[in-house]
Structures are given as structure tokens and as C-alpha cells.
Amino acid sequence: MSKIYYLMGKSSTGKDTIYKELRKRMPQLKNVTIYTTRPRREGEKEGEEYFFTDETELEKFKTEGRLIEERAYNTVYGIWHYFTADDGQFNFEQKNQDYLMIGTLESYEKLKTYFGNEKVVPLYIEVEDGERLTRALAREKTQKEPKYAEMCRRFLADSKDFSEENLAHAGITERYENTDLEDILEKICKKILKKQSQL
């Protein structure tokens, strides 16, 4: 049975980095592009990290009943929406086709509701807070227009969004520590291969 491997974690835990590396190592995992109304960051390409869109398209998906999950962040730049749409990217008719995605705890739960618990496999990433903030700052500094206030807002919001209570509610039991990139990639690949061999 096809699975959706779902990467989650607080900001700057390395989800994008891990995602990109996993796609290189396991090219058979299909990419699902989600949508965002936030402005494009330096170096991001349309349809790669996200489909960059607007609220009109979001409303269209909603009206058509094709919105799988939606989250909105009240940022210092206004409200940014992120959403997953049933836009033809998921094809569970195709045998042995697994998917790799990045999301939040809430979107993970909504995907489980939409597709069924068995379909979605959580991959929860963790990094010690001090190290995570250091990485976030270093990353922000490389941007042409660093958004430090937004970086701080996300850092603070993370403690609430990923509280132990919320993790327990979402049924997250396994955690992957991103101290050494090679080490975490090896562990995740092992997990996916094990799942695939059980099917």
C-alpha cells in the first residue's frame, strides 16, 4: 500500500535539508508540492518548494471541496496561508508509489483524516533549541532582506505548536534528532525501507 512519509518539526530543525537529501537518496519517493501565499524567498523556485499563490486560488480549492488541509500564520507581514490541495498529485491507484512531504502537526492529522491513518507515516525531527536558533539566525543572515522579527515569532510559536501535549495528541512516538545530518538520513532511510518491506 502506498504511503505518505510526512516530515515535521519546529522551524530550522532541518526539514528542507533532510527532504532534499532524501529525494536524492530515494528518488522513487514522489514529491507533492503544497501551496503558499507567502512571498518567495531568495533562491526558491515556483513549483519546487511551493506553488506560490494567492487567497483567490485558496478560496477556489475550498469551494470545489479539494482542500485537504490549510494553515494560516499571522506574521509580521500579514497572514500567510499554506495548504495542500487534491489537485491530482496524489495517485493511490499507482502501485508502490510512496510520497514524501513536509508539514505541521495539524496538517499531519488532517491528512490522516482525509486519507486514513495507515496512509501517513510521521517523521518528527528535533534539534536542541539553542542550536536551532543558531542555525535559524545563520540561515536568515544569508537572505538579501533578513526577516529577524519573523524568525523570532516562529521560534516562540513553535513551543506552543509542538508542545508535548500536541505531540502526544497527534500520536507522535518516534523522534529523529538532527545533530549529524548523515546519521539522521541513515535512520530515516532505514525506517522507510523497513516500512516498504512490510507491505
Ligand X SMILES: Nc1ncnc2c1ncn2[C@@H]1O[C@H](COP(=O)(O)OP(=O)(O)OP(=O)(O)O)[C@@H](O)[C@H]1O
Please give the residue ranges that form the binding site for ligand X (CB under 6 A). Answer: 9, 11-17, 135, 138-139, 178, 180-181
Of 43 and 171, nearer to ligand X (C-beta) is: 43
Of 59 and 177, nearer to ligand X (C-beta) is: 177
Of 59 and 186, nearer to ligand X (C-beta) is: 186
| Sequence-separated (6 or more) residues with CB below 8 Å from residue 105 | 8, 161, 162, 166, 167, 170, 172
Distance CA 47, CA 72 (A): 20
Quote the distance between the C-alpha of residue 135 and its chain's center.
Answer: 18
Least distance CB 107 / ligand X (angstroms):
13
If residue 141 lies in a helix (H) or strand (E), which one and from where to where? helix 129-141
If residue 114 lies in a helix (H) or strand (E), which one and from where to where? helix 105-115
Which pairs from 145-149 meet CB under 8 Å and 24+ separation? 147/76, 147/77, 149/76
Least distance CB 72 / ligand X (angstroms):
16
Of 74 and 196, nearer to ligand X (C-beta) is: 74
Least distance CB 93 / ligand X (angstroms):
31
Least distance CB 32 / ligand X (angstroms):
16
Of 119 and 154, nearer to ligand X (C-beta) is: 154
Least distance CB 116 / ligand X (angstroms):
26
The CA dihedral of 56, 58, 64, 66, to the nearest 10 degrees, is 160
